[in-house]
A and B are shown apart, each in its own frame.
Chain A
Amino acid sequence: MFRDAWLIAGKDLRIEMRSRVGLNQIVPFAVTVLVLFAFALDTDQEALRTYAPGLFWVTVLLVSLLAIGRSFAVDLADGAADRLLLSGIDPIAVFGGKAAAIAIQLVVLEVLLGAGVVLLFDVTVHRYGLLVCAGLAAAAGVATAGTLYGALVAGLGVRETLLPVLLLPVVAPVLIGATRAFQDAFGVAGAEGWAWLGLLAGFAAIYGVFGALSYGALLEEA
C-alpha cells in the first residue's frame, strides 16, 4: 500500500513540477495576498507583527484551495480518474498519496511564505521547533481534509466554487490552532503553542483516518 501511495504522490508531484502552475501561478498568488495584507496594515508595523501568524495562515488556506483543486483537476482532465478506479490501487493508497503530495506542496509554500512574512512583516522567530512542528501538522491537516472534500466535489460541475464553501469552515480549527502556535513561536502572544499543536495533530489524525476509510466510497461517486 505504501508503494502505491508513493506512486500516486510521485505522479502528482511530478505533474506539478512539470506544469509549473505552482511556480508561475500559485506562489505569485500567495505572495500577492501577503503583500496586499502588508499594504492594508503598513501604517502600523506593530499590528503587522501581531497579526502576521493569522495573515500567514489565511494565505496558506486560500492557496491550499488551488493546490487541492489542481490535484483532482489533473485526474479529471482526460479520464485518468476512471483509470485510477480500474487500476486496482487501494483507495486508501490513493487517498494517502494525494494527501501526501498536497501536504508536501503546502510545506514548500509555507517555507516561501514564512520567508516573506519575516521580510515583509518584520517578525522574529523565537521557537523554531514549535514553528516547524505546527507547520507540518497544519499542512497534514489541511491536506487530509482537503483530499477528502476534494474527492467529495470532484464529480460536480461546480467543484471550483463548492470546494471553498465546504472546506474552509471545516479547516477553521487548523487556522485557529496554527495561528496560536505561530503566535507563540513568533513571541507575539502568550499562547500555549504546544497545546495548540496537539489540536493540529489530532485534526490531521482524525481526518487521515476518516479520509482513508471513506475514500473508496467517495471515488465511486466522483
Chain B
Amino acid sequence: MTLLGRFPALAGVDLDISPGEIVLLKGPNGAGKTTLLRLCAGLCSLASGQGWVLGHSLNEERRMVRRRVALLGHRTGLYDDLTVAENVGFWARAAGASRQDVDEALERLSLTGRLPDTRVGRLSAGQRRRASIASLVVRRPELWLLDEPHAGLDQQSRDTVDALVRGAAAAGATVVLASHELERIQVLEPRVVSVVGGMVRTGDEPAGPQSPNTPSDAEDDRRVS
C-alpha cells in the first residue's frame, strides 16, 4: 500500500512485469497511475507490503532502483535558464554519459539546428517535452516510466516517441506507460493493466478507447485517491 498523506493512493497492487515488456497503465484521472509510476521509480515509499523493481527492494534499496530507471512525468525536470544542450549535458554528466551520448540524444529527438543553444524557458511545450525525453535517453535506463508521453507533442514527435519505446523494448528495457490516448498506444501492442481507484487489475484487456462512463476530472478531484 502507498499513502498520499494519510490516505491510501494504491492498495492491493499485485503486478509482475517482465524485462522487455511494454505495459500500458489504463484508468481514469486520479486512479493511481502516476503514483504507481512514481512508486516504481523509487520516489514513493510503501506503507505496507513489498515490491521489487529490477531486482531491488522498494522498501530498502530505492536508491539502487532510481539509478536504473527514467521517469517522464508531467513536469520536464529541466532548468529554464539553461540551454537545451546544457540541460541534457547536465543530466548526462550526472549519469556518467559522454558528450557523444548527448549529441545522439539531441539528434534522436530532432533537437537540432539552433534548438540545442536555445534556453529551455524559450521553448514551446512540445519542444520542452522532447528536450525532457532527450535528457532521459542519455541515462540509458533499464526501466522507462512514461506518464502521458505523447502529451503536447506533434505527430512527428509522437512517432519519435513510439520509435523510442519500441527501440527500448527491443533492447531489453522495460517500458511502463500511463496514457489516456489508448488508440495511439495500441500501435505499441502493450499489455494493458487497469488502475481504478488505487486498485490494479491485470489481464489481457484491449487498449481501446475508454468507456464513456469514465469519471470526469471534476469527479476525480473530489475523490481522495
User: A: which residues have CB within 8 A of B?
Assistant: 4, 7, 11, 14-15, 18-19, 74, 77-80, 82-89
Task: Check: B52 CB closer than 8 A to any chain A CB.
Answer: no
The 9 closest A-B pairs by CB, nearest first: A79-B75, A88-B67, A83-B77, A18-B81, A87-B94, A79-B77, A86-B66, A19-B81, A15-B81
Task: Check: B10 CB closer than 8 A to any chain A CB.
Answer: no
Q: Which residues of B contact A78 (CB under 8 A)?
A: 75-80
Inter-chain contact total with CB atoms closer than 8 Å: 66
Q: Which residues of B contact A11 (CB under 8 A)?
A: 79, 82, 90
Q: Evaluate contact between B90 and A82: CB separation under 8 angstroms.
A: no
Q: Which residues of A contact B106 (CB under 8 A)?
A: none
CA gap between A80 and B43 in the complex, in Å = 13
Task: Check: B39 CB closer than 8 A to any chain A CB.
Answer: no
Given A82-B75, A89-B94, 14 extra CB contacts under 8 A: A4-B94, A11-B79, A14-B82, A15-B79, A15-B82, A18-B82, A78-B76, A80-B78, A82-B73, A86-B42, A86-B43, A86-B66, A88-B63, A88-B94
User: Interface majority SS on A: helix, strand, loop or mixed?
Assistant: helix
Q: Which residue of B lies closest to A12 (CB)?
A: B79
- In-complex Cβ contact of B76 among A7, A19, A79 (8 A): A79
Q: Which residue of B lies closest to A81 (CB)?
A: B77
Q: Which residue of B lies closest to A89 (CB)?
A: B94
Q: Evaluate contact between A79 and B66: CB separation under 8 angstroms.
A: no
Chain B nearest CB from A170 CB (Å) reads 28
CA gap between A18 and B41 in the complex, in Å = 32
- In the complex, 7 of the A-B residue pairs with CB atoms within 8 angstroms, ordered by the A residue number, are A14-B86, A78-B75, A78-B76, A79-B75, A84-B94, A86-B43, A86-B67
